[in-house]
Amino acid sequence: MNKQVVARSFSRNVATYDENAVIQREIAIHLALLLDGVCSHGGNFFEVGCGTGLLTKEVIRIFSPSRYAVNDIARSMLDNLNAEVSQKLCFDAESDEWPMSLDAIVSASSVQWFDNPLTFAQKSYAALNDSGTVGLATFGPKTFCEMQSLGHQGLSYPSLQKWQSAFKDNGFSVIRAESSIRVMHFKSVSQMLNSIRNIGATANSQRMSVSQLKKFSADYEHRFSDPEGIHLTYEVFYLIAKK
């Protein structure tokens, strides 16, 4: 995957991200609540893929970190982050070095853009202090299953079992691992595609000609309509682990 394409895609959609990121906001809130009671308040925090700060704000509200460094591959996301943090780091979190001696690492709706998302577990273990905590929310293989069934290849999403194994194999104790299915409804295929585009999540999507788009829309409406409109599935994994 071309990470610069990913960065440009998200940078172009900073202004429209929050109003379209319904699922991502729900995920950020739920992850922060799952961490409460497991992760110590205060301390040295690091967030991978902060975006516009949906998770950042929840972590600050609940945990009041003494130090909070955030990362994103898209500079414009960091420039427009409306949250008080200690450091904004623009780099590719999969390949570049992280801050060290951390008490907690958090990430929501981000690591699916890694070429190998499971490397997140290894990098987290190396960066954490003893007894440090990692909180991860990411997407599962059933995400966008409707589009996949119509032949549109998306990202590669590891299973929850693979995520649990990755954390355990790297020395973590998995405190919590859960999955959920969230189905979004839209009035039309056009509205659905615009919503996806407006959060920048098209960096790995296939371009369609006018005729291909027309056929895709007709097929989607035929197969995935219900009384509430047309639907789109997200599968979300939440993992909390201790070093």
pLDDT in tens, 29-77: 999 999 998 998 999 999 999 999 999 999 999 999 999 999 999 999 9
153: Cβ contacts below 8 Å, ≥ 6 apart: 206
Q: Are 108 and 127 in contact (CB under 8 A)?
A: no
Sign for the pseudo-dihedral over CA of 155, 199, 29, 229? negative
> What per-residue confidence (pLDDT) applies to 14?
75
Name which of 147, 133, 162, 174 is nearest 233 in CA terms: 147
> What per-residue confidence (pLDDT) applies to 206?
66
Task: Tell me how far apart the terminal alpha carbons of the chain are, to the nearest angstrom.
Answer: 30
> What is d(CA 198, CA 21) in angstroms, rounded to the nearest whole number?
9
List beta partners, residue 173.
Answer: 242
Q: Are 133 and 242 in contact (CB under 8 A)?
A: yes
The position carrying tokens 């902060």 is 50
> What per-residue confidence (pLDDT) applies to 203?
47
Residues of the chain under the 50 pLDDT cut: 203
> What per-residue confidence (pLDDT) applies to 209?
84
Phi, psi for residue 191 in degrees, rounded to 5: -65, -40
**What dihedral do alpha carbons 126, 132, 137, 142 form, nearest 10°?**
60
DSSP structure string for 128-186: EEEEEEEEEEEE-TTTTHHHHHTT--------HHHHHHHHHHTT-EEEEEEEEEEEEEE
Q: Are 10 and 51 in contact (CB under 8 A)?
A: yes
> What is d(CA 207, CA 99) in angstroms, rounded to the nearest whole number?
37
> What per-residue confidence (pLDDT) applies to 216?
92
Q: For the chain, what is the radius of gyration of the CA atoms?
A: 18
Q: Are 236 and 139 in contact (CB under 8 A)?
A: yes
122: Cβ contacts below 8 Å, ≥ 6 apart: 166, 170
pTM: 0.93
> What per-residue confidence (pLDDT) applies to 173?
98
> What is d(CA 44, CA 66) in angstroms, rounded to the nearest whole number?
6
